[in-house]
Amino acid sequence: MAQKIAVSCDLAVILHTQPTIEICTEVKARNIIPGEKISKYVDRILVIENKQITSPFILPLYANGVPTILFKSIRGKLGNENSHHLTLFGQTVLPESLTLTDEFILIAYFFKPYTLLSLFGVSAQELTDRPIDLNLLSLQRSVELQERLLNAGSLEDMIALLDDFIFSLITNAKTESPIIKYATTQIANDPSKESLVAVQKELHITERTFQRMFERNIGIAPNLYRRICQFNSAFTQLNNRKHHKLSDIAFQNGYADQSHYIRSFREFTNITPKEYLHFGEEG
């Protein structure tokens, strides 16, 4: 039977700060600060290693508002579909899960929210809830990258290969939209409805233009991005257990009431906050 263990939120996330993973043996997970040459585009790097596994490893994938490159040393299942070694995720809105059935190394590069179009040359909207095999983008060196990663002698070698690949994309990157870069930063820092309205007014563009720019560069509408940022902020507080009751989290994160918060949580996870906390505490 699989064992359920709660680990710190920053260590076990693929597409969200998800602290609970279903495992069957010890898992080693850590964050790596991106090197200077890629830090303008990469927010953080996550590594998860499982060197002994006897039953499926299941990792929930929740929305967090950022695109991601995911490398796995083995193939797996993303929902009901086969998952390749190198996967590019755009925005993930609907909750999903990743299942791995053998020992593995998993490396996730979390990008800034506005980088998909400039780095990969693809409209972000095309990848929303539709992750793809990175090799299908016909990016220079991507096929070679996969082979070298699978034959790398150490985790450090894998990180170096991925860093070099991303740096090669950066050297040929188009300039990201300064409007979208500014807007996403402001909204992430203050994901309130008032903040969204204020940002749009400050930029002196129409609501329709703002939405089109957001969908092309981020992959979702501005208000959905705001709601995902709001969810993330509340989720982090829930994980840290820095609350006496759920209504504290709801009001501190701008939800109208506790019921509104629970509905939002269920929308992005398919479970309630209490169900989530109970799952994380099971032995």
d(CA 87, CA 265): 26
**Domain 178-281 carries which CATH code?**
1.10.10.60
Are the C-beta atoms of 226 and 196 separated by less than 8 Å? yes
E strands present in the chain: 3-6, 20-23, 28-32, 42-50, 57-61, 68-72, 76-78, 81-83, 86-89, 96-100, 104-111, 132-133
Q: If pLDDT is split at 50, 70 and 90, which confidence band does 17 have?
A: very low
pLDDT band for 240, please (50, 70, 90 cuts): confident
What residue segments make up the domains of the chain, in order of their start? 3-171, 178-281
Residue where the block lists tokens 């990258």 = 145
What is the average pLDDT value for the chain, to the nearest integer?
88
Give the rounded percent of residues in the chain with a pLDDT score beyond 70.
89
DSSP state of 173: P
pLDDT in tens, 142-189: 889 999 999 999 999 999 999 999 999 999 999 999 999 999 999 999
In the DSSP assignment, the letter for residue 176 is P
Residue 119, pLDDT above cutoff 70: yes
Check whether 13 has a pLDDT greater than 80.
Answer: no
